[in-house]
Amino acid sequence: MTFAPPHDRSNEPAGLALVIGGTGGIGAALVAGLRAQGFEVMALGRRTQPALDYTTESTLAICGQHVADHLARTGLRLQRLVVATGFLHGDTVSGQRAEPERSWQHLSADGLQHNFLINAIGPALVMRHFLPLLPKQGRCVAAFLSARVGSIGDNALGGWYAYRASKAALNQLVHTSAIELARRNKEALCVALHPGTVDTGLSQPFAKTGLQVRPPDEAASDLLAVIDALPPGSSGQFFDQKSLRIPW
């Protein structure tokens, strides 16, 4: 897909931008970037008030109500919903360590469950509680950070079973919710985005020499440019940080 010149945001009210995972590496840079674009920005995550934690489903409903109340009180429109949460390695809910698997020998139910919880189930619950808050008319964007390794068509290397599979599940959820979203608002866009390799805690142990690793503020600025340039008809698709389509 070729992109038109960047969408002219002067026709779009600035409104509210919500970043879920706004305390993470890329998420915090997105918060700063959206603020610089003139949005009022709200960040939600495990360390915010109210807190949003995918391991406790009720926190999503509480945070959804919190945002709905804020929109009703201020009269702002929710113009951007960016989901910047994710998991690749670390402690799981059960307290065990999970690392990306190099072989099927390393697969564990615990690792698979945690990757699916943070990379697919959590964002699906975000869809349930936050997509209904998008305006029913006019352009608005929901963007979910996925990963190129979630592409089945692009997978030539193997490995990283749980992360790949959970991001592929996320991509399907994004595509499916984009179809439903279009029934409420034809101008609303819902996309999956690959941020490139970015210097954060998530990528740090795996950043190989030779890979282009970029600072979070640069990645955020690219992602916001991709979001602004999304043309009508691009909803439900998967794009990289240069606005190029990634195969499913």
Ligand X SMILES: NC(=O)c1ccc[n+]([C@@H]2O[C@H](COP(=O)([O-])OP(=O)(O)OC[C@H]3O[C@@H](n4cnc5c(N)ncnc54)[C@H](OP(=O)(O)O)[C@@H]3O)[C@@H](O)[C@H]2O)c1
Footprint on this chain of ligand X (rule: CB under 6 A)? 21, 23-27, 45-47, 52-55, 84-87, 118, 122, 145, 147, 194-195, 197-198, 200-203
Phi first, then psi, for residue 52 (nearest 5°) are -120, 120
**Taking the complex as a whole, how short is the minimal distance between the CB of residue 11 and ligand X, in angstroms?**
29
Nearer Cβ to ligand X (26/188): 26
**Taking the complex as a whole, how short is the minimal distance between the CB of residue 220 and ligand X, in angstroms?**
10
Nearer Cβ to ligand X (7/167): 167
- Of residues 186, 191, 188, the one with CA closest to residue 173: 191
Alpha-carbon gap, residue 248 to 241, rounded angstroms: 16
> CB nearest ligand X: which residue?
86
Nearer Cβ to ligand X (133/170): 170
Beta strand 90-91 with 97-98 is antiparallel
Nearer Cβ to ligand X (47/184): 47
Element (H, E) at 26: helix 25-36
Alpha-carbon gap, residue 56 to 117, rounded angstroms: 11
Given a contact cutoff of 8 angstroms between Cβ atoms, the answer to whether 7 and 201 are in contact is: no
**Taking the complex as a whole, how short is the minimal distance between the CB of residue 233 and ligand X, in angstroms?**
25
Nearer Cβ to ligand X (39/144): 144
Provide the terminal-to-terminal Cα distance of the chain, rounded to the nearest Å. 14
**Taking the complex as a whole, how short is the minimal distance between the CB of residue 77 and ligand X, in angstroms?**
24
In this structure, which amino acid lies at residue 223?
L
**Taking the complex as a whole, how short is the minimal distance between the CB of residue 63 and ligand X, in angstroms?**
10
Nearer Cβ to ligand X (78/220): 220
Residue appearing with tokens 């391991």: 55
**Taking the complex as a whole, how short is the minimal distance between the CB of residue 109 and ligand X, in angstroms?**
18
Calculate the alpha carbon distances from 46 to 9, 52, 59, 79, 178 in Å.
31, 5, 9, 23, 26
